[in-house]
Chain A
C-alpha cells in the first residue's frame, strides 16, 4: 500500500458530494466509498466526516433520510440534491482548472521562463 496522503483543505466536501452522486450512502458508507475509489491513498479523519455532512446538509446540497442498512440496522442515508449536483459540477470544473494551472506552474522548466 502506498503512503497515505493527507486530505487537502476544503476537498472533503467535494469528495462527499462525489461519493453521494453515485447513489444514497450512509456516513460510514461514504467513508468506505472514498477509500475504495482512492484505493486507500487518502487519509480521512473519520470524525471530521460528520461535521462536513451536517454542513453540506445545512447548505442544502445533500439530503438525508433514515433507512435500513445491509445488516438490518437503522442508518441515515445521504443523497445528492439538484443543487448539490450543480455544486459538484462547479467544484469539479474549478478543481480541474486549478489543477491545470498548478501543474503548469510546477512543470515549468527554467528555460521556459
Chain B
C-alpha cells in the first residue's frame, strides 16, 4: 500500500468524518434492509424479517467501531476519547483542576507577558533595511563611550572605505508654533546621508540632499508621520508648504513613515545639520550620533581595524583633542538595546523559574492524585488498556489542564502587558509596542504544551507501571516509597528556585530602600522645574538671551505662591549637563592636571532657591558681572579633588574660555564659596565634582553649548505646582517660547527611580508568587505524608508518643526539605545574584543581611505550611485507625 493512499485514507477520515459516518450508516442500513426484503419475498412478515436481519447482522455499533478502526481512524479517535475522558476526570475533581489551572495560569501568564515585552523591546528587528549591517560609531575616552565630534566624524567619513553610507545626527528640540500654542518638539539635526544609511524612504515628498545640507541654505525640514498627522492635520499637500521652526519659516520637504525613529528617541523633526567649515574643523566638541552602513562583504572587524588606523592618524594630527581617543563600532541594535538586555533577560529567567515551580507543584499534585487513582488505572489496565494507552490518556488529561491554564494565562498576560505598558519605565524603548500578538501566542502555546508535558510525564509513566496486584492488595499500606522521594525532590527544587528569586528581589528591595534614604543634597520639597529653550532667531545675542531669562525670573517671582525663582543650565536629576576641564593655580598646563567637572551656569538666586547648603563663603550676587572678578562656587567633592586638605576659599583655577593669549591660556576664576554635593545624575549615583558660575559672567560661547536652554527652578509656598501660572509668566516675556518638561522635583526624582522600582516591583511579585507556590508544595507533600501514614501515627500514639513528638516529626520532615532546598538555593542565589551587581546601590550582590532575611522568611513560611498537616496528624485517633485495619 502506498503512503499516499494511507495518508489519503487518514485525511479522509480526519476531515470528512461526518460524511464517512453517514455513508457507513447508509451502507449498513442498506444491508439490513436488503436482507429483510429478501426474507419478505420468501414469505416472512415484514416485522419479523426486520427483526431477524438485525439479529443476523449483529451489534451495529460494534461493527461501526471496528469499521472505523479498520480505516485507521482509531488513533485520532482514541485521542479524542482521551481528551474527552481527561476533561471528564478534571470536571469530576474541580478542586484539583482549579488549583492546577490557576497555578499554571500564573506561570504561563507571567512568562507570556514578560516574553511579549522582551519580544517588543529586544527581539523585534529595528524597522530599517537590513539592520544588522548598520553600525553605531562612538568615541572611546578614558574607558567610556562618548559621542563623536564633528571634526572626527568628518575625517572618518572622508577616509573610511568600509562603509557605503555614513551619516550623523544630534538630538535637538525645536520650538514650533503650528496651532497657536508654542510647543517643543524633539528631533534631530541630521546630515543628508543619514536617511539613506538606514535605507528608509519617506511616505511623502523627499528627504534633504547634500546641497540643502550646507550652511546658508534656506531652512528645510523633514517631519515624522506622527507629527504630520497630529500637528499638521495629515495635510496631503504639506510638501512645499512652510511651517515656523525656531521662529524661522521652514519648507517641509517630506514625511517619514511612522516606524522611522532609528535611534529610538521619539524624533519628530529632522533638519539639515549644515555644518560650517568651523564646525567641521572642531575636534573637541563631542555631540554627534554617528551611524554607518557596512559595504557588502565588509565585516565589522574589518571596518573596526580600518577605523583604528584612521584613529591613529587623528591622534597624531590633533594631539590636544584626540590624544587619548579611539573609536569603536558596534551594531546599532546592540548600541540601542544593550542596556535593556540585562534586566529583561533577568525578568525572563525569573518568570522561567516561576513556571518551573508551577510545573513542579502540579507534578506534585498529580503524583498525590495518582495514588488515589491507582485503582481506577489498574482497572483500566485490567480491562485491556495498554500501558501506552494509559500514559497517553494521562498526558491528554494534562494537556487539557495545560490548555485551560494556557488560556487563563494568556488572559492574565493580556491584562499584565497592558499594565506594564502603562506603568513601565518611560525610557525603555519600544516598550509601548508590547502586545499579545501571533508570536506571543505561539510562545504561550509552546509553554503550555511543554509544561503540561513536563509536569505530566513523570506521574503518567509512574502510574502506568503500577502493578495490578499492588494496587488492589492494600489501600493503606505504605507503597511507593520512591514516589515519596520524587515528591520530596520536587519540593526541594521548588524551594531552591524560590529562594533564588527571593534573594534577587530582596537585594533589589534593600537597594531601593537605601536609595530612597539618600540625601539628594538639596531640599526637594515644593520645587517645580521646567525647561525653556530660546531660539537662535531673535535671541542670538548673549545679552538678549540673558536679559530674557532675567525677565522671566522676575515675572515668575511676582507670581503669588512663589517663594523664589531662578534658572540653572541643567537642574539636578533632569539628565544631561555639560562638563569642563579645570586647572588649579600653580599646576603646570598639562592634560594630566586637568580636573573634569560638571559646570552649572546659574542665576544668582539659584543656590538659595534650591536650598543647596552653603558650607563656607558667599553666594553669587547680581554684582558678579563680567566687569568684575570672575567667581565660582565649587561643591565639596571638587574642593577635595582640586585642593586636598586645603581651604579652597580664595583659590583660583583656569577654565571655560580663552584668555588674552588664546586657547592655551584659559581665564582665571576665583572660588568664593563651597556648597554641599548634589546628586545631580541620580540618587543612586555618587556626586561628581561640580562648580557653579553666575549667568552674568558666562562665556558668550557657552550659550551655544547649552543651546540657549535653561531650567527654570521655582520654590513655591506649597500646594499644587502652579503649572498654568508658570506658562503664563514665561509667555508674558516671550510669547512664542514654550516651557516644557514641567513637573515637580519630587516627580523628577521618582521618574529617575522609575526604572529600578519597576524591576524591583516585578521581581518582588515573582518572588512572592514563587514563595506562595513552594509553600503550597510543602503543604501538599506533608498533607499527603500524614494521610498516608495515618496508621503509623495511630500506632505510635497508641504506644505513647506525645502530640508534640508527632507534630515535631511532621514539621521536622517539612523543615528538612525546606532546609535542603534552602541550602541548594543559597548556592544558586550566590551565583545568580552576581548578575544583579550593576543594578544594586550600596550593597554587594552577596549581601549577608538580605540572604539571612529571605532564608528566615522562607523557613517561617515553610513552618506555617507544615503546621496544618502536623496539626491534622495529632488529631489522629489511634482507636479509629487501628480498628479500621
Q: Footprint of B on A, CB under 8 Å?
A: 26-28, 31, 45-48, 50-52, 54-55, 57-60, 69, 71, 73-76, 83
Contacts and interface: CB of A to CB of B under 8 A. Distances in A.
B720 interface: no
B91 interface: no
Given A45-B58, A58-B71, A50 B30 contact: no
A98 to B, nearest CB: 24
A27 B31 CA distance: 7
Given A47-B62, A50-B63, A58-B72, A27 B56 contact: no
Given A52-B70, A58-B71, A46 B2 contact: no
B71 A54 contact: yes
Contacts of B34: 26, 28, 69, 73, 75
Chain B interface, >50% SS class: helix
Chain A interface, >50% SS class: helix
B70 A60 contact: no
A60 B69 CA distance: 16
B56 A51 contact: no
Interface in B30-60: 30-31, 33-35, 37, 56-60
A55 B68 CA distance: 9
11 contacts: A26-B30, A27-B30, A46-B58, A47-B58, A50-B63, A54-B67, A58-B1, A58-B6, A58-B72, A73-B30, A74-B26
Contacts of A69: 30, 34
A28 B57 CA distance: 11
B1 A71 contact: no
Given A27-B30, A46-B31, 20 more contacts: A26-B27, A28-B30, A28-B35, A46-B56, A46-B58, A47-B58, A47-B59, A47-B63, A48-B58, A51-B63, A52-B70, A54-B70, A57-B71, A58-B9, A60-B5, A69-B34, A73-B33, A75-B30, A76-B23, A76-B27
Contacts of B72: 58
Contacts of B35: 28, 46
Nearest to A46: B57
B66 interface: yes
A55 B57 contact: no
A47 B27 CA distance: 12
Contact of B67 (A28, A50, A59, A74): A50
A57 B5 CA distance: 10
A60 B6 CA distance: 9
B1 A59 contact: yes
The 7 closest A-B pairs by CB, nearest first: A47-B58, A51-B66, A55-B70, A54-B70, A47-B63, A28-B34, A51-B70
A45 B58 CA distance: 8
B58 A60 contact: no
B30 A74 contact: yes
A51 B56 CA distance: 16
A55 to B, nearest CB: 4
Contacts of A27: 27, 30-31
B60 A47 contact: yes
A88 to B, nearest CB: 15
A57 B12 CA distance: 13
Contacts of A52: 70
Interface in B12-26: 23-24, 26
Given A28-B35, A58-B72, A59-B1, A47 B57 contact: yes
